Amino acid sequence: MAWSERNNAELANTTDTPYELEDSKSALLCPLTGSIMLKYRISADTDHKLDYSPRVGGVWLDKGEWEYLKEQGIANKVNSVFSDHWQKQIRVNDTKATFAALYEKKFGKEDYQKVKELRNWLESNPNKAELRAYLLAMDPYGS
């Protein structure tokens, strides 16, 4: 029986008690092997990283990280955090957020919201190719 199965009830019981979240900024040494542990981002929403020892497959949590993982609903998926897929998704989300911030700064908040709505409407419209041509034409009524 896996640890997560034995402790499933504890994972479901998140606490409303405030906790302090700390993160070690520099690389740590594995307490078992003395080798340097790797740092993995938890999500795009936080700068906190989990410390992982590849030599023993162990995870060491800083103060408050366990409570944070439970609060985010990923305490029972900790192994997924170390997967290439998870880390790639964080980078994709970071890139999207960066572009969104750039567009909002360039267009202004209100105009950016309008153009996003227009884009969503256009993408779902069956006549999107013709609508794009109309919008991009210098004179859509000219010959």
d(CA 70, CA 60): 15
User: Percentage of residues in the chain with pLDDT exceeding 90?
Assistant: 72
Average pLDDT over residues 108-134: 97
Confidence (pLDDT) at 1: 42
Gap between the Cα atoms of 135 and 80, Å rounded: 44
Strands 49-53 and 58-60: antiparallel
Between CA 35 and CA 53 the distance in angstroms is 8
- pLDDT tens per residue, range 4-63: 555 654 555 555 555 565 667 788 999 999 999 999 999 998 888 999 999 999 999 988
Rounded Cα distance between 52 and 94, Å, is 22
**Which sequence spans correspond to the domains of the chain?**
3-80
The model's pTM: 0.69
pLDDT mean over 105-125 = 98
Q: pLDDT at position 49, please?
A: 92
